Chain A
Amino acid sequence: MINKAAREMSSPKKMISEKKMISEPKFALLLLLPTIVILLGLLLYPFLYSIYLAFVNLNLTKPWIGTKFVGLENFATVLKDNEFWLSMLTTFYFTVFNVAASMVIGLAAALLFNTKFRFRGLARSLLLIPWAMPGVVNAMLWQTMLHPNYGLVNGLLLKLGLISDPINWLSDPKLALASVITAQLWTSFPFVALMYLAALQSIPYDLIEAGKIDGAGTFRIFTHIIVKLLVPVTLVLLVLRTIDSFRTFDLIFAMTKGGPANATELAGVYLYKQGFMFSNFGVGSAGSYVLTAFILVFVILYMRILRQRDDH
């Protein structure tokens, strides 16, 4: 509309030809300049600085000793540290279970909330609450839920007669990881649900109608039409959720500090401990490179899958 009006009103003489205008690359550089400066200063420089840190022995508490170049010693310390590998394994379990559970429950919730029922709007709004929850508060909520004596979970299980003694969810190393995964699931499934809901709503109704006319049942429509249309958003969600789980820190830090007996110590918590509790900046930096490399492998894998899909 604006376009048409503009064309009718303007005389051709007023138009600036593409050649007279600032060139596209120059304009792009100008527009991107602030971003590039900020990212160079606050991401790239720290990143390079941490390479330096990974190769020296920096002692913040005893600065008079001075910094000493130690070569690959910090990397060796990390790679030989059982606690580091244990934290990587814990991170892996945490990520796999969390991503799988949040995808399944998120999709189920989206399918439920996509049908018409009373108070549907309200139900959808409720989903936003866990999503907006700060990690530290999420930790508090689940600490009160899982407390052996005051917690609702034990209260319910006792009342239903499913258990006879209270369970120590957060102090039993076997149950603690499952507990923090549940807490993380609570805050992460709504995002999956809301994204799937948006995707479901963008499916043209005609397509489903056409399927019905062709004689497809509800089940067939779901498996043949809807699932196929949800593939793109599923891939995006997988990438986002994996990165998110890999980087989880605040929930664990506030809920268990990595305990009991390191059962919930994710890689981020291990690195924080090395850097800020034991002042091993070198070991922390070296370890964060190893962690970043792992994440990178995951992401490249996902991108491969995404690209393959685009080619089809």
Chain B
Amino acid sequence: MSKGLNRILLYIGVIVVICFTVAPLLWAFVVSVSPATELSTLARQWLPRQMTFDNYVQVLSLSDNADTFKNSLLNSFIVAGSTTFLALIFGSFGAYAFARLRFRFKDRLSVIFLFTQMVPSIAIALPLYLIFKNIGLLDTKTSLTLANLSFTLPFIIWMMRAFFGSIPKELEEAAFIDGLGRFGALFRIILPISAPGLFAIGVFAYLNTWNEFNTALVLTGSDQSKTMPVVINEFLGRFSVDYGLMASSGIIGLLPPVLLALVFQRYLVDGMTSGAVKG
């Protein structure tokens, strides 16, 4: 009897959590496919009498919208991709040093790394804007990649450090016995067997960079460097009176990161928990 009751309470709890999780998504979708004439009655009916994809067509067919949108997709892809690539290479080197090697200032350096994660991005965005303006790199994908790299690196090192720490030391010792030096041990043994873990952390970093908004807002100015969140924010502003258009541009904007998250969910969960739970 009490077991049955527990079961019911469990399902109620699960349903409440799931409703809270999916309601905003479903609602934005409903708004985006409703004809403008039905919006005023929608909140009480929950579903439109007719479905229409006009809003999506309109968001993507206005020619400058379509170009801006396509470019931003490409920009985000390039910026997030190159940031992740570089961060994984430099980050795995750094993390290995922290996990395995003894050197001076190690503790102090790791406190500094931790500190970089706490500085509010606006504190760095203000001077970065002026610096990049002075060297003529404002509104380029290069400057955005560099800025993102500086945010991502300390974070990646922190996560990977725990990961490298969990690899048995005997592996390196065996490599040394085999005649491999430190470089050999790292490149031929440690990095290859760490590939799945590195991939997990990479997916995590990619998503973080893809969603980064504050720095992108400050450093970008035209279609050649604006990333997706910046463009979506502009769309939201431009369509703020037309809820259907606003909702559909938001739905378009959420598709890439959400699809990425769902496809790589196993890796993401591994990546996000590797630093904190296992370490």
Partner of B233, one of A136, A191, A295: A136
Q: A210 within 8 Å of B by Cβ?
A: no
Q: In the complex, are the beta carbons of A140 and B28 less than 8 A apart?
A: yes
Contact call A28/B120, Cβ cutoff below 8 A: no
B179 and A16 contact, CB distance less than 8 A: yes
> Smallest CB-CB separation from A243: which chain B residue?
B118
Do B181 and A46 touch across chains, with their CB atoms under 8 A apart? no
Nearest chain A CB to B132 CB, angstrom units: 10
Chain A residues whose C-beta falls within 8 Å of the C-beta of B211 in the assembled complex: 132-135
How many Å lie between the Cα of A131 and that of B228 in the bound state? 17
Contact between chains at B126 and A129 (CB < 8 Å): no
Q: Given A38, A123, A151, A291, which contacts B14 in the complex, CB threshold below 8 Å? A: A123
How far does the alpha carbon of A42 sit from the alpha carbon of B199 in the complex, in Å?
A: 25
Q: Contact: A186 with B116, CB < 8 Å?
A: no
Inter-chain contacts of A46 with B (CB < 8 A): 124, 127-128, 131
The stretch of A92-100, A220-228, A269-277 in contact with B is A269-277
Known interface pairs A128-B261, A292-B118. Does A38 touch B149 (Cβ–Cβ under 8 Å)?
yes
Contact B126 A128 (CB under 8 A): no
Does A268 belong to the interface (CB within 8 Å)? yes
A207 contacts partner chain B, Cβ-Cβ < 8 Å: no
Interface size class of B (residues with CB under 8 A): 35 or more
Is A184 part of the binding interface, using a Cβ–Cβ cutoff of 8 Å? no
A123 vs B14: C-alpha distance in the bound complex, in angstroms? 8
A216 near B: Cβ within 8 Å?
A: no
Which of B18, B93, B122, B272 has the largest number of chain A CB atoms within 10 A?
B122
In the complex, what residues of A have CB within 8 A of residue B25's CB? Answer: 129, 141
Question: Which one, A6, A125, A272, contacts B265 given CB within 8 A?
Answer: A125
**B229, A250: Cβ atoms closer than 8 Å:** yes
By a CB distance below 8 angstroms, the chain B residues around A112 are 10, 13-14, 17
Q: Which residue of A lies closest to B181 (CB)?
A: A21
> Are B123 and A50 in touch, CB under 8 angstroms?
yes
Given A150-B40, A271-B123: A45 and B131 interface contact (C-beta under 8 Å): yes
Q: Does B62 lie at the interface of the complex (its beta carbon under 8 Å from any beta carbon of A)?
A: no
With A and B bound together, what is the CA distance between A271 and B46 in angstroms? 40
Question: Which A residues are CB-close (under 8 A) to B101?
Answer: 24-25, 27-28, 31
By a CB distance below 8 angstroms, the chain B residues around A159 are 44
With the chains together, A243 CA to B218 CA distance in Å?
A: 21
**CB-defined contacts of B53 to chain A, threshold 8 Å:** none
Contact A7 B177 (CB under 8 A): yes
Main secondary structure of the interface of B (DSSP, over half): helix
Residue A175 lies at the interface, judged by CB distance under 8 Å to chain B: no
In the complex, what's the smallest C-beta–C-beta distance from B197 to chain A, in angstroms? Answer: 15
The answer to whether A42 touches B146 (Cβ under 8 A) is yes
Contacting residues, chain B, for A29 (C-beta < 8 A) = 103
Indicate if the CB atoms of A292 and B120 lie closer than 8 Å: yes
A7 to B177, CA, bound (A): 7
Q: Is A85 interfacial (CB-CB < 8 Å)?
A: no
- List the A side residues contacting B173 at CB < 8 Å: 3
- From A9, A191, A237, A268, give the contact of B122 (CB < 8 A): A268
Residues on A with beta carbons closer than 8 Å to the beta carbon of B103 = 24-25, 28-29
Considering the complex, which residues of chain B in the window 233-249 have a beta carbon less than 8 Å from any beta carbon of chain A? 233, 236, 243, 246-247, 249
CB contacts (< 8 Å) of A158 on chain B: these are 43-44
* Nearest B-chain residue to A154, judged by Cβ: B43
Q: Is A149 close to B, CB under 8 A?
A: yes
B250 touches A141 (CB 8 A): yes
Most B C-beta atoms less than 10 A away, residue of A9, A10, A16, A18: A16
Contacts of B96 in A (CB 8 A): 31
Contacts of A237 in B (CB 8 A): 276
> Would A129 and B243 be within 8 Å (CB), given that A112-B14, A254-B233 are in contact?
no
CA distance A28 to B103 in the complex (A): 7
- A25:B118 contact, CB within 8 angstroms: no
Q: Which of A45, A47, A132, A191 has the most CB of B within 10 A?
A: A132
- Which A residues fall within an 8 A CB radius of B? 2-3, 6-7, 9-10, 14-16, 18, 21-22, 24-25, 27-29, 31-32, 34-35, 38-39, 41-43, 45-47, 49-50, 53, 58, 105, 108-109, 112-113, 115, 117, 123, 125-137, 139-145, 147, 149-152, 154-155, 158-159, 186, 190-191, 194-195, 198-199, 202, 233, 236-237, 240, 243, 246-247, 249-250, 253-254, 267-268, 271-272, 275-276, 281, 284-285, 288-289, 291-292, 295-296, 299
A-B contact pairs, 29 of them (CB 8 A): A6-B174, A7-B174, A7-B177, A15-B179, A16-B181, A27-B101, A31-B96, A32-B97, A34-B93, A42-B147, A43-B119, A112-B13, A117-B11, A117-B14, A128-B262, A133-B257, A134-B213, A134-B232, A135-B213, A140-B250, A144-B250, A150-B42, A152-B23, A158-B43, A202-B278, A249-B214, A271-B126, A276-B129, A292-B119
A145-B24, A288-B122 given; name 9 further pairs at CB < 8 Å.
A2-B174, A16-B176, A22-B182, A46-B128, A141-B25, A155-B43, A195-B277, A268-B122, A281-B126
